[in-house]
Structure 1
Amino acid sequence: MTFRTVWLHLRVPFSFFLLPVFLFALSQSDALRLGTLDWIRVAVVWVVIHLLLYPASNAYNSYFDKDEGSIGILETPPPVDKTLFYVAWALDLLALLLGIWVGWPFVAYLLIYGFISKAYSHPAIRLKKYPVMSWLIVSLFQGGFTYLMTLQAIDRLPIAELMKPQPLLAALLCTMNLLAVYPITQIYQHEEDSRRGDLTMSRLLGVRGTFLNAVFWFAVSLVGFYQYFRGAALFWLLPVCLLPGVVYFLLWYWRVNRDVRQADFRSAMTMTLLSGTGLNFFFLFLLILTGS
């Protein structure tokens, strides 16, 4: 495999869609609020999660799936070989080595997340073929679990501190966002997943059911964010930031209702990009407000 092929399958830019979880955790840091935040530590945690852990998971998934149709941000994924498998393990090992500097709870998080991501696509387990289980596990680990461990790593919190209502509610909100978005990222892969015998959550729900699932969980998460911010005026910036994504989502749903073939790769990626960008803007604003 060429360097370019390996780089494409790492799908590093895809981490952008999961950046809101990191930014949300950072914005809720007590150290940020007190002006004692260690920015080098923050940078290392970000690098480990977004440039090592997630790309390793993407590469491992690509190696075992050997997709011929669109995946992630790749409309036409190039062929893979054993090189990608070794690269995935090398990135995981590097993540663990850097994680030791951050702390042992963070290392435990990396090990657990790494195992789950491998179980997701490895043919011996392949959680991906169990629609409800994989949907719940991916949403929990990419959402709430990552939020809690990011917060723990940044603030060096005792694990018991993460069990308090405020961080648990924030973690639940991150999970609910993934419950909405994750099936959307599968909506254009029905034919490919059917060929491999994978009954994903989006295939189980159907195209229209995938849209309705997103509406439900986004609505519930908005109510949750309102409670989290205790009805403060700041909350109303969230729907404003999400407005472009909401408008696109409704227009896309209208197109899909007329022609189910409109549930395609480019539309799904545009939808994910707009919703991710909206959340990133909101949490960046929250981060600036908290640190000022």
Structure 2
Amino acid sequence: MFKTSNWLHLRVHFSYFLLPIYLFALSISPNLSEGGLLWMLIILHLFIYPASNAFNSYFDKDEKSIGGLKNPPPVDKNLFYLSQLFDILGLSLSLVFFPGNYTLFFMLIVYILASRAYSHPMVRLKKYAIISWLIAGFFQGAWVVWIVFIGLDDFSFNQIFKPHVIIPGLLASAILWGSYPMTQIYQHEEDAKRGDITLSIKLGTKGTFIFTGVFFALASLGYFFYFREYFDVKYGFIFLGAMAPVVLYFSWWFMKVLKEASLANYTNTMRLNWISATCLGGFFLYLFLDSSHVLSVVGVY
């Protein structure tokens, strides 16, 4: 269980790419504490997400590059047990540091079950292009926003249906629905070999870029109007500015791929993920600190 190869498959560093979702959720959470912020971050990014990565790796048994691992080592049964251990630890921490918040506990369980259904051979949602796209984007986006909201504020589940909560959740998913096919673009051969006909395979390399570009543009427009309606229009313009490096790199990469298809590879995909996560994460951190007036309190301006 504790072999280096198994720990590599947890891909803890890959959680960085989902950090913007957590940071975005903070901006809609009215009741915050330093301890709650820290433990929610730890539960999701150091336990629940890595457990999902390990579980997925165990059943996929990839031989070529996967998200966060360019050369994945072989897997064994101990990786399966390690994924169980991390899920149990994450759930246990939620009970310890968010006592009495059973809504959070059960929402985490639902997330775990959805992630397992994605890759377990008895269900294997991953082999269904549209369903897997919808499920992955929904649970890693909207569901996580609502998990953080419920966890930090100890609200009842029905609170997520209020417009100021459900809209940002769906916007978080919209970004992921746009980017999700890009994470599959270098795995066409490996996925097809297992019978997983992903959305990116259906779209083709060029189609994946076009789909992501259009979806990202629509999602960005949605964010702009959301910020104008619920915060201040200045955040909409700052958001668009923060996304400029992502758009520039994406456009440059697309032009390169049109000339040489082999450049739709692992290295360039991870580079896009890193730029996107950094720009989005930086903006959402600023949104949280500025809209909550933390920056004013500490005297930044």
Q: Which of the five TM-score ranges fits, normalised by the shorter chain? A: over 0.9
Quick check: 1:166–1:228 contact (8 Å CA) kept in 2? no
- 2:210 maps to 1:243: no
**Deviation for aligned residue 1:200:** 0.8
Q: Which residue is 2:177 aligned to?
A: 179
Aligned match of 2:92? 97
Match of 1:49 among 34, 44, 51: 44
Instruction: Report deviation, 1:245.
Output: 1.4
| Counterparts of 1:159 and 1:125, CA distance in 2 | 27
Tell me the alpha carbon deviations over residues 64-93 of structure 1, each in whole angstroms, 9 at most, x when there is no partner. 111000000111000110110000001111
What CA distance in whole angstroms lies between the structure 2 residues aligned with 1:205 and 1:264? 16
Instruction: Give the deviation of 1:114 after TM superposition.
Output: 0.8
Match of 1:83 among 72, 78, 81: 78
Q: Aligned with 1:185: secondary structure?
A: helix
Residue correspondence of structure 1 range 98-117 to structure 2 within 5 A: 98-101=93-96, 102=98, 103-117=101-115
Q: Out of 203, 208, 213, which is 2:211 matched to?
A: 213
Check conservation: 2:108, 2:147, Cα contact below 8 A: no
Report which stretch shifted further, 227-236 or 146-155: 227-236
Q: Which runs of 5+ in 2 are unaligned?
A: 295-301
Structure 1 residues 83-116: Cα deviation after superposition (integer angstroms, max 9, x where no partner): 1000000111111111223221111111111111
- 1:10-21 alignment, distance < 5 Å: 10-21=10-21
Q: After the TM superposition, which residues 3-152 of structure 1 pair with which residues of structure 2 at under 5 Å, given as runs?
A: 3-31=3-31, 37-101=32-96, 102=98, 103-152=101-150
1:264 lines up with 2:262 in the alignment: no
Is the contact between residue 239 and residue 283 of structure 2 (CA under 8 Å) also seen in structure 1? yes
In the superposition, relative to structure 1, how do residues 91 and 2 fare at CA in structure 2: closer, same or farther (>3 Å)?
A: closer
Could you tell me which amino acid in structure 2 is paired with residue 287 of structure 1?
F
Per the TM alignment, residue 4 of structure 1 is displaced from its structure 2 partner at its CA by 2.2
Q: CA RMSD in A?
A: 1.2
- DSSP-derived class of the 1:77 partner: coil
SS of structure 2 residue aligned to 1:30: coil
Q: Report how many aligned residue pairs link the two structures.
A: 287
- Is residue 203 of structure 2 the alignment partner of residue 196 of structure 1? no
Percent identity between matched residues is 42
| TM-score (norm: length of structure 1) | 0.95
Q: Which runs of 5+ in 1 are unaligned?
A: 32-36
The answer (yes or no) to whether the contact 2:125–2:132 under 8 Å persists in 1 is: yes
Q: 2:234 is matched with which residue?
A: 233
Q: TM-score scaled by structure 2? A: 0.93
